[in-house]
Amino acid sequence: MDIPALQKKLDEAKYICSGDVAATLLVALQLGRPLLIEGPAGVGKTEIAKVMASALDRELVRLQCYEGLDESKALYEWNYQKQLLNIQIQMDRRDADELTKSLFGDEYLLERPLLRAIRSEEPVVLLIDEIDKADEEFEAFLLELLSEMQVTIPETGVVRANSIPFVVLTSNRTRPLGEALRRRCAYLYLQYPDIDREAAIIRAKRPHVNDHLALQVAQAIHALRESEAILKKPSIAETLDWVSALEALGISDLNREAARQTMGFVLKSSEDLEAAGDVLCGQDCGHPHEHEHCGACSHGQA
């Protein structure tokens, strides 16, 4: 596979990205390197793993990180109830040492996402989502997997990957990640798309929307993100939600009233909703005033 071929597959999956992003994905895939993707919330980091699974025709295995996550939730756990039941049944029939060893076979092992990914006979896409939300101890725990594509289970030993997964880690940069983890990964930083790319994303994901409305929404979203008054910047998903809300109301032109009626699909706090009024232009227009010319505005100059 080369860059144009991968770009075509991403386009077919309706993921609009630059050639540089496609090149990074391809090289990381070919080298078998984990890929760390950082950027603001809502720029499409998680979506990359999803579309790569689709483009490569692989299963997506996802581990959602959170504070307090440990190996029992991420790697494996023993089926204690089944072990106890077997002890009760076999304790008078088998030698104690033999019985103990038998309790740590595959039939008692509960796979979690990390173990499932490396034991899979077919390569998968492993998404370790929002690694910055996990503790530093868990980050350190991942190093063996990221560098050797293996994990260690104390009761049974080292488990090496049956196939090499394409590993994608995402981070919103809520805390600094360790250098040891960064060294083991290729790196990609995603930013919010510019107006033209956002409009292209809208047209790809919402093919029934007219080009005029797609551009209007893209310009409005861009202005909201650029405004320092908006605390929670709208994500790409919220852009698409806004378009869907406008379509549901049969709106084909984004004016001030249409924006007011649907702004709750874009901004999710009362403070941001109040501030949005200052981002929009005058009483007769619902389009942002940060640009010299608002192509979405029927009055020409904003």
pLDDT in tens, 10-64: 988 889 888 899 999 999 999 999 999 999 999 999 999 999 999 999 999 999 9
pLDDT higher for 10 or 1?
10
Q: H helices of 32-79, where?
A: 45-56, 71-74
Q: What is the pLDDT of residues 127-163, one digit of tens each?
A: 999 999 999 999 999 999 999 999 988 878 898 999 9
Contact status, residue 300 vs residue 293, Cβ threshold 8 Å? yes
Instruction: Give the pLDDT confidence score for residue 95 in this predicted structure.
Output: 63
pTM: 0.83
Q: Pick the residue with more confidence: 255 or 92?
A: 255
Q: Report DSSP letters for 211-241, one per residue.
A: HHHHHHHHHHHHHHHH-TT-SSPPPHHHHHH
Considering Cα of 189, then 289, then 302, then 280, what sign does the dihedral take? Answer: positive
Closest by CA to 246, choosing from 276, 273, 221, is 221
pLDDT tens-digit series, residues 241-283: 999 999 999 999 999 889 999 999 999 999 999 888 778 653 3
User: Nearest to residue 117, comparing CAs of 22, 34, 178?
Assistant: 34
- The answer to which of 88-92, 111-115, 162-166, 204-208 has the lowest mean pLDDT is 88-92
Residue 67 token pair: 């504070």
